[in-house]
Amino acid sequence: MKQINITTPSKNYPVYVGEQAITKLGEVLQSLTPAPKNVLIITDHNVGELYLKDVQAELDQKFSYESFQIKPGDSQKSFENYYACQSFALEKGLDRTSVILALGGGMIGDIAGFVAGTYMRGIRFIQIPTTILAHDSAVGGKTGINHPEGKNMIGVFHQPEAVIYSTDFLSTLPENEIRSGFAEVIKHALIADPSFYEYLRKNITTLNDLKDEHLLNCLTRGIEIKNEVVSQDEREKGIRAFLNFGHTLGHAIEGELRYKDITHGEAVAHGMLFALSLKEETIQLGKNLKRWLHDLGYPTTPKNLSVSSLINRMKKDKKAAGRTINMVLLEQTGHPYIAPYQAIDLEEKLTEFLKEN
Ligand code: ADP
Ligand code: ZN
């Protein structure tokens, strides 16, 4: 098992990654002061069905616990479910010493973290991620829910006490979820670590390679890179924006497809290819990446996307400023920078890109 120590201005905490990392749970809870009165596990039906009993087994006879399950899917990151969790926590008598366990993918991490961040003005929580994508969302302290007006519109920064990443829990992930999470690993490599990128290119030639030692390396290096960036910029004022590589177009594609038919990471993969196509120096890198993604079974860019609608969405991006769209590009692997584009210029480039991809 590997341990990564996350350092942020507001808090330091450990991430345990490896087979059976869940066996650390009792120890982590016991080390907390004040000792928790009780524990609330929040999960979704899919993950609950598969792994709730494993988590409960770690708590049995040591801690009193309750479990609350919500339906799977990002649309469940809703105010209604948030409120239902709060009501359940009140009914079960959670107090300020209680601890919430977020057992699931990014969706559960976000909503359970937000419940923890606001219940009685904030109680402690532990992330137990079960997707590859969650290597990204479990670090950085962002929690929240969606509003009909937009995703992640309501939330708080709230850091967990620990992250327990039991890689055995990832063995049941569907293929598209593996692709979704791995795209974010590739992103971390591209923005920060050329030798990690080479390692991935060499060793991950099919999705089947994403297990054991390689899976462990992907999660740990991904988390380390995210931590390096976030710890320098916890509240997203500067370099944290580099984590947005591939996301300006990625988010727009997800939005256009109403968050159906494409996973987050698959959309980000298209966004990264577009970003690499924008600069002469990275065109070849983009072509190689495209071939590799194709071999890994990533879908081609969806047809029938409206360029003007995509550009409109990109203009509304939280990171955009007026008519200028800020794109994260690479000078080369490991060297990201922000390039402002006039919407009209980007529209032309995007039209060309969608024709060719
Ligand atoms: P993320 O935001 O990290 O992609 P989600 O929380 O949206 O993750 O989960 C994606 C889907 O995968 C959901 O339907 C969820 O129930 C399911 N899921 C999460 N973890 C696992 C797992 N380990 N095995 C099988 N299905 C899982
Ligand atoms: Zn992302």
Q: What's the chain's length in residues? A: 357
pLDDT for position 319: 62
| pLDDT tens readout for residues 91-131 | 999 999 999 999 999 999 999 999 999 999 999 999 999 99
The domain in which residue 109 lies consists of 2-170
Residue with tokens 């699931």: 104
Is 170 annotated as contributing to ligand binding? yes
Interatomic CA distance for residues 176 and 159, integer angstroms = 28
CATH of the domain at 306: 1.20.1090.10
Is it the case that residue 231 has pLDDT exceeding 90?
A: no
Is 349 annotated as contributing to ligand binding? no
User: What residues does 12 pair with on adjacent strands?
Assistant: 7
pLDDT for position 258: 86
Helices (H), ranges, the chain: 25-30, 45-59, 79-91, 106-118, 134-137, 175-192, 194-203, 212-231, 247-256, 264-277, 283-295, 307-316, 343-356
Contacts of 114 (CB under 8 A, 6+ apart): 82, 143, 144, 145, 154, 155, 156, 158
Weakest-pLDDT range from 253-257, 259-263, 273-277, 339-343: 259-263
| pLDDT tens readout for residues 199-220 | 999 999 999 999 999 999 999 9
Give the number of domains in the chain. 2
158 closest CA partner among 186, 125, 120: 125
| Shared-domain flag, residues 125 and 185 | no
| Shared-domain flag, residues 146 and 231 | no
- With a 6 Å cutoff on the Cβ, whether 197 touches ligand 1 is no
Under DSSP, the state recorded for 8 is: -
What mean pLDDT, rounded, does the chain reach?
95
| Shared-domain flag, residues 157 and 96 | yes
Q: Which of 69, 78, 130 to mutate to test the pocket of ligand 1 (most atoms within 8 A of CB)?
A: 130
Phi, then psi, of 156 in degrees rounded to 5: -140, 160
| Shared-domain flag, residues 163 and 34 | yes
Interatomic CA distance for residues 266 and 201, integer angstroms = 17
Q: How far is the CA of 237 from the centre of ligand 1 (A)?
A: 30
Greater confidence (139 vs 64) lies with 64
- Contact yes or no for 139/223 (Cβ under 8 A): yes
| Shared-domain flag, residues 58 and 130 | yes
Q: Which of 19, 43, 45, 46 to mutate to test the pocket of ligand 1 (most atoms within 8 A of CB)?
A: 46
Q: What percent of the chain has pLDDT over 90?
A: 87
Last residue of a domain, one of 121, 137, 170: 170
Last residue of a domain, one of 170, 191, 222: 170
Greater confidence (302 vs 165) lies with 165
Q: How many alpha carbons lie under 13 Å from residue 78 in its C-beta half-sphere?
A: 10
In three-state secondary structure terms, 338 is strand
- Contact yes or no for 353/277 (Cβ under 8 A): yes
pLDDT for position 145: 98
Last residue of a domain, one of 170, 201, 227: 170
> Which ligand 1 atom is the nearest neighbour of the CA of 45?
16
Q: How many alpha carbons lie under 13 Å from residue 95 in its C-beta half-sphere?
A: 7
| Shared-domain flag, residues 126 and 197 | no
| Shared-domain flag, residues 159 and 193 | no
- Contact yes or no for 45/71 (Cβ under 8 A): yes
| Shared-domain flag, residues 82 and 54 | yes
| Shared-domain flag, residues 84 and 200 | no
Q: How far is the CA of 332 from the centre of ligand 1 (A)?
A: 33
> Which ligand 1 atom is the nearest neighbour of the CA of 180?
4
CATH of the domain at 24: 3.40.50.1970
**Atom 19 of ligand 1: nearest residue by CA position:** 105
Is it the case that residue 234 has pLDDT exceeding 60?
A: no
38 closest CA partner among 59, 55, 24, 68: 59
Weakest-pLDDT range from 22-31, 237-246, 315-324: 315-324
